[in-house]
Amino acid sequence: MADNKQYITQNQDNGAVMISEEVIATIVTNAISDVDGVVSIGNAKTNLERKLLNKGMKITVTEANEVTIECNIVVTYGSSVITVAKAAQEAAASAVEAMTGIKPVAVNVNVSGIVRQ
């Protein structure tokens, strides 16, 4: 695999399973999109789009398979910013752990905007 992608590698009896950072980003995007008060990921002020996936998110995977997630979200005006950000953190962490078996070391959520809807 000659690309610059980062992978979570899980050794199995008959080989290895490799999960790319793009898969993690998709899991996080879908989990956060279900959080009440989140308008979008990234700095966009439109609904979540797959094209924005890498613009508002950074996934870091270490050689020890430790995953750190950083993402920007836009929150609905009138929502509790702290409550929405915490819910986004929890949703992302639990979805990644449930789908990959790896618990993220950190989920850093940056509220980069607020939008009146």
Arithmetic mean of pLDDT over the chain: 84
81 has pLDDT over 90: yes
Question: What's the CATH code of the domain at 107?
Answer: 3.30.70.1350
Q: Is residue 2 part of a domain?
A: no
Neighbouring residues of 10: CB distance < 8 A, sequence distance ≥ 6? 16, 17, 18, 19, 65, 101
The conformational region for residue 107 under phi > 0 = left, psi -120 to 50 = alpha, else beta, is: beta
Cα-based torsion angle of the residue sequence 48, 53, 59, 65 in order, rounded to the nearest 10 degrees:
90
Closest to 41 measured CA to CA, from 23, 62, 21, 55: 55
Q: Is residue 83 part of a domain?
A: yes
pTM: 0.81
Confidence of residue 4 (pLDDT cuts 50, 70, 90): low
Q: Is residue 1 part of a domain?
A: no
Position 9 scores a pLDDT of 77
58 has pLDDT over 60: yes
The conformational region for residue 95 under phi > 0 = left, psi -120 to 50 = alpha, else beta, is: alpha
Confidence of residue 37 (pLDDT cuts 50, 70, 90): very high
Domain of residue 40 covers 7-115
46 has pLDDT over 80: no
The number of distinct structural domains making up the chain is 1
Top-confidence residue, 24 or 56:
24
